[in-house]
């Protein structure tokens, strides 16, 4: 799992690449402070080819902590396999999900 950051319209987009799963999820939070601080972010999942329930739990945990502190997290670019995980668990109700990370950053900036 590799983690990259870029700024777009003042919002940090964190791109994850690889499998977000039980083996990699514990390390993800340490790899980017943007995932754990209070600022609103977009997580670009276009590079994530596999997500399991531990990976989902990691995203849910990020959302909970951000929102407790007044921030937010938006998700972008989920492939079919990832959408399936969100649909079955109804986690889609917890997230605003976008097809495009920069568009998601734009809507976050306007808010």
Partner 1 sequence: MQQERQRKNNYPMNTFMTMSLPSDIHYARIASKTAMMVAEFFSGQSGIAEKREEFCHAFELAVAEAFANSVFNAAPQEKERQVMISFSSEKSELMVSVSDANPEFDPEMQVPDILSYPEHGYGLVLIRQLMDSVRYSRQDGMNQLSMIKNAG
d(CA 54, CA 10): 30
Sheet holding 73-76, edge to edge: 2-8, 11-20, 41-51, 73-76, 97-98
| Residue ranges with strand state E in the chain | 2-8, 11-20, 41-51, 73-76, 97-98
Sign of the alpha-carbon dihedral angle for 29, 109, 46, 2: negative
Could you tell me the smallest distance in angstroms from the CB atom of residue 8 to partner 1?
26
Q: According to the binding rule CB under 8 A, does residue 41 interact with partner 1?
A: no
Could you tell me the smallest distance in angstroms from the CB atom of residue 23 to partner 1?
5
Contact call for residues 11 and 109 (beta carbons, < 8 A): yes
Measured from the CB atom, the residue of 69 and 100 that comes closer to partner 1 is 69
Q: According to the binding rule CB under 8 A, does residue 53 interact with partner 1?
A: yes
Q: According to the binding rule CB under 8 A, does residue 94 interact with partner 1?
A: yes
The footprint of partner 1 on residues 58-87 (CB under 8 A) is 58, 60-61, 63-64, 80-81, 84-85
- Contacts with partner 1 by CB under 8 A lie at 19, 21-23, 50, 52-54, 56-58, 60-61, 63-64, 80-81, 84-85, 88-91, 93-94
């Amino acid at each position: 799992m590799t983690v990259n950051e870029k700024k777009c319209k003042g919002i940090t987009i964190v791109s994850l690449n690889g499998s977000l799963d039980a083996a990699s999820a514990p390390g993800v939070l340490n790899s980017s402070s943007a995932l754990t601080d209070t600022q609103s972010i977009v997580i670009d999942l276009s590079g994530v080819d596999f997500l399991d329930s531990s990976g989902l739990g990691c995203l849910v945990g990020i959302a909970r902590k951000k929102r407790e502190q007044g921030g937010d997290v938006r998700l972008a670019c989920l492939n079919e396999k990832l959408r399936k995980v969100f649909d079955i668990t109804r986690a889609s109700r917890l997230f605003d999900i976008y097809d495009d990370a920069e568009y998601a950053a734009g809507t976050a900036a306007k808010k």
